[in-house]
Structure 1
């Protein structure tokens, strides 16, 4: 489409840019500290998050810190139909490689609707459109299905590296927007919050 961003090409560009990041660990620390300073994060009793991999902003320290501060943290378990089940994180020893090699909690699976009870939802993204809140994921639709179950007043936060707020990300009918993006430089409200 004229004037629109091609999702596949944008994914390729962002993945290539992430491969060349100088200090991804520093980015993760800045994001973690900024989030942990927010009262709405500190008060969230149940937090849905994800176990980062590759060049994503690392969530490992964030998950551990939330857990140590008393939050119940649920992490996704990918189902065969690409939907997300959820299980409770109970410290580093509670994680094991899943069928696709992604680390997952070994706790009892709580069901796809468990995310409905979360007070805060943190999701991965390659980019977010600051005007609409549309997030660009990896293309499997798992997080769009999960976000469709989240209530309208629950903060939904995508973790990004600098430069990944991008205007004009095309939205498809199944795409679900987030309300915020957390970057090393701070938290940005996006879309129609």
Structure 2
């Protein structure tokens, strides 16, 4: 009979294989395909948000490479004077490691720096893990999701550590390509489900959000 450790290793391995497959598919898409899908997805996200003006706070991230783009979304939110929080993953200004997931406020004029893995982040002081509790919407990085809201993260565990600090009624959103909405996903007890999945062709509500 397989041990719990063996089961956990098999599940982690299945996740890693799926991550590799999704990343390969994303990288194989042409720039024209990505741009068209990014624009269509942004329009759906904008419809989802409506006219947020001022409040609520939105936590998001700045995409890189072949990820579904968040650039238009973050820029649009800042232009609407919506308070935006972005992850801080690099070291603190004194060179020490951050003790946990950290966030910084972002506006259109906030300078950016290159963080770990080339991920852009605000060149600003961190607000700490609890700052996520201010956000009523959290746009979190994902590689795939199911109609039930199961989410496959990017593999670093950052959001697994960050999302427990979210407000209980915060709406968690994943931005994906159409072929990244799957029927099932390998999941583990600490995996946090998302409430809304946005693709270029639809907005899928996985809960009462």
Same fold (TM over 0.5): yes
SS of the residue corresponding to residue 70 of structure 1 reads: coil
Counterpart Cα distance in 2 of 1:149 and 1:40: 25
Q: Deviation per CA, 1:21-67, whole angstroms, max 9, x where unpaired?
A: 23112211112111112256726421100010111111111100000
Residues 58 and 135, structure 2, Cα contact 8 Å, conserved in 1:
yes
Higher share in helix: 2
What is the match of residue 25 of structure 1?
35
Given candidates 137, 145, 154, the residue that maps to 2:161 is 145
TM-score in terms of structure 2 length: 0.82
Q: How many residues align?
A: 190
Shift of 1:74: 0.8
- TM-score, length basis structure 1: 0.88
Q: Displaced runs of 4+ in structure 1, greater than 3 A?
A: 79-83
CA RMSD in angstroms, aligned pairs only:
2.2
What pairs up with 1:83-122 in 2 under 5 angstroms? 83-91=100-108, 94-122=111-139
Contact preservation (8 Å) 1:14, 1:126: yes
User: 1-side partners of 2:63 and 2:204: how far apart?
Assistant: 20
Residue 181 of structure 2: SS of its match in structure 1? Answer: coil
Q: Relative contact order (alpha carbons < 8 A, sep ≥ 6): 1 or 2 greater?
A: 1
In structure 2, what is the equivalent of residue 73 of structure 1? 84
Structure 1 residue runs of 5 or longer lacking an equivalent are none
